[in-house]
Chains A and B, each alone.
Chain A
């Protein structure tokens, strides 16, 4: 079982990202489940969403406490939330940032970075002030984690993005190509 935790801010699409990753995983032949942190969502407030991926039916319905990977949609969250909390030793952190992986000192984790904000703006996703980065960051996930292939991620985005499906698919593809892996 592979567990992923998404950190975002209300309105950035972290919940949709978790859902699309689950859909892509199922397309690839896995079983998957996704759910938001069961809270009251407010725009701009820190939010979490989760995806579980497995080869067999998933029979777990408790929260994710020890994810294998963490995806950070907004780097400013890292100042207020410990995004590594519970992350398994050697786990992967995918961060939306213009920085390089070696600029982060987070412990024994593999860091992958991508400038999803720039990619989202280039594809006119969301507004300049509030770009929608969730599809771009999924491209980075596909590159950094690799268990769900980029083709399935793109297919899932094309079928499920709430708007601008083609632009979102291209954003994921660009992010996949531009992701920098640490270590």
Chain B
């Protein structure tokens, strides 16, 4: 039995029988920090649970990756929930923010175990609820805020995940994540500095008073 499985899944009140089934049917995957993997393309008949670590979920549109949201193994979470409801015309990918461990589970087992184990059904539904709320937040983020607010919130989130006020990310990557141009990001960073919200360094920015 994979030791991580037991420690992770018992917190959701999974029975020993269910954990054993997950262990028997699952395929363990380990990723290093900054590894990128495609959620559904490579494993269309599986869904994935994040056992340890944290991930960023990206929507891949027109060769551009747009950051939707991040989550850690502390949240109740199935990673690739999209193929649970069939196919979706857009691809998704994940970026490991730190060393992360996942387990692939055959899709048909999700339905069988959801019927057999109420606690597993609750886990799947709560994962859907988590993703629903996170997508809602992303919709709100991309449709409602000014670029200043979006960029500042994005940098704050990065600071929280990285546990440092100094953020070092290329402007082009920020532009991709926020679905806008690099020029706009450069201008907006200058504006945020003028508003005393950050300090520009040569290859990084330092957030003030977060």
Q: Do A and B form a real pair? A: no
Interface positions of B (Cβ within 8 A of A): none
